[in-house]
Amino acid sequence: MTIARKFFAVLVALLIATSPAAQSAPHELPVSIVLVHGVLIDGSSWRGVYDVLTRRGFRVSVVQQPLTGFNDDVAATKRVIDQQDGPVVLVGHSYGGAIITVAGTDPKVKALVYVAGLQPDVGETAGEVAPPKPPADKHLVPSKDGFVFVDPAHFAQDVAADLPKARTDFMAHAQMPVAASAFAVKMPAAAWHDKPSYAVIATQDHALDIERAKWMAHRAGSKVTFVNASHAVLVSQPRAVAKVIETAALSVP
C-alpha cells in the first residue's frame, strides 16, 4: 500500500470513529427517576431537570397527574412507577411532595426527593402541614366547581419571582388548577419513615414558609440542600435540583 493510500485509509477510519453514529450513547444507569410536578404547573416544568439527568445517563419519566383529586394524583404516579424496571428515585415538587409521600411506599421506590415540597406525616393533610404563606394565601382564587388557582396578577411574585417576566406571564395564564379537596385528604402512609429522603429548600420561596419547610425536612430526617431560588426552583435552578436528585440516585445500593 502506498503512503497516500495508507493516509487515506487512516483518515476514513478516523471519520467513521468520530461520526455521530459511531459515538456510543451515554451509559444508561440502573436507577430510574420519576418526577412529579406540583400544582398550577404541569410536567413540562421539569424539562430543564430532565435534560440534565438524561444527559448523565439516567432514565427519567415525568408524571402528568390530573390534579383532580389526591387519590387520582397518587394513582397517576403509581401508574408511571409500574412502568419502571429496577429501583426508582421518586421526586416531588410542592404539592407533589404529598403525592410521593404516599406513592413512595411502592417497593420499587428506594429514595425520595422533595423539591420545595410538602412532607406530611400519616394522618396529616397537605393543607394543614404547610398552608400557603401570606400574602400568597390571599391570592388564591376558587372556581365554581371546587378548584383553586392563583390570581395571574400575583403569580410571578408568589410562585416564580426569579424567572423572566415573559416566562411568568405565560405560566400565569397556563395554570393547571388543583382540586381544593386534595389538600384535605389525610395521608394513609408516609414513605419517608422507611426510606432515605432529600429536600431542596428554596430560600426565596414566597409560597411555602421556609421555617415550615425546614421543620418538615428535619422531622423526616431529610438531607437538606438550600438553593437561592423561588418556589419554582425546578425551573429557575434545574442544575442545582438535578444535582440533588443525582446524589440520591447514586446512593441507591
The per-residue pLDDT for range 186-202, each reduced to its tens digit, is 999 999 999 999 999 99
In a domain, 85, yes or no: yes
In a domain, 19, yes or no: no
117 touches 92 (CB < 8 A): yes
In a domain, 52, yes or no: yes
95 touches 178 (CB < 8 A): yes
Cell of 208: 411555602
* Cα gap 172→211, rounded to integer Å: 26
In a domain, 9, yes or no: no
Instruction: Check whether 24 has a pLDDT greater than 90.
Output: no
Give the pLDDT of residue 47. Answer: 98
Task: Compute the mean pLDDT over every residue in the chain, rounded to the nearest whole number.
Answer: 91
Instruction: Check whether 121 has a pLDDT greater than 80.
Output: yes
What is the percent of the chain with per-residue pLDDT over 70, rounded to a whole number?
A: 89
Confidence label for 248 from pLDDT (cuts 50, 70 and 90) = very high
Dihedral of CA atoms 161, 60, 29, 83 in degrees, nearest 10, equals 150
Instruction: Check whether 28 has a pLDDT greater than 70.
Output: no
Instruction: Check whether 146 has a pLDDT greater than 50.
Output: yes
Give the pLDDT of residue 30. Answer: 87
Question: Distances from the Cα of 24 to the Cαs of 10, 18, 58, 150, 230, in angstroms?
Answer: 21, 10, 15, 46, 38
In a domain, 128, yes or no: yes
User: Whose grid coordinates read 439527568?
Assistant: 53
What is the percent of the chain with per-residue pLDDT over 90, rounded to a whole number?
A: 87
In a domain, 1, yes or no: no
| Number of domain units in the chain | 1
In a domain, 10, yes or no: no
Confidence label for 9 from pLDDT (cuts 50, 70 and 90) = very low
Q: Domain range for residue 190?
A: 25-250
From 2-16, 80-94, 151-165, the region with the lowest mean pLDDT = 2-16
**Span 83-89, average pLDDT:** 96
**Span 122-140, average pLDDT:** 95
In a domain, 75, yes or no: yes
Give the pLDDT of residue 158. Answer: 97
* Cα gap 118→99, rounded to integer Å: 9
Confidence label for 2 from pLDDT (cuts 50, 70 and 90) = low
* Cα gap 20→216, rounded to integer Å: 47
Confidence label for 7 from pLDDT (cuts 50, 70 and 90) = very low
The CATH number assigned to the domain holding 233 equals 3.40.50.1820
Q: Which of 151, 136, 166, 125 is nearest to 231 (CA)?
A: 136
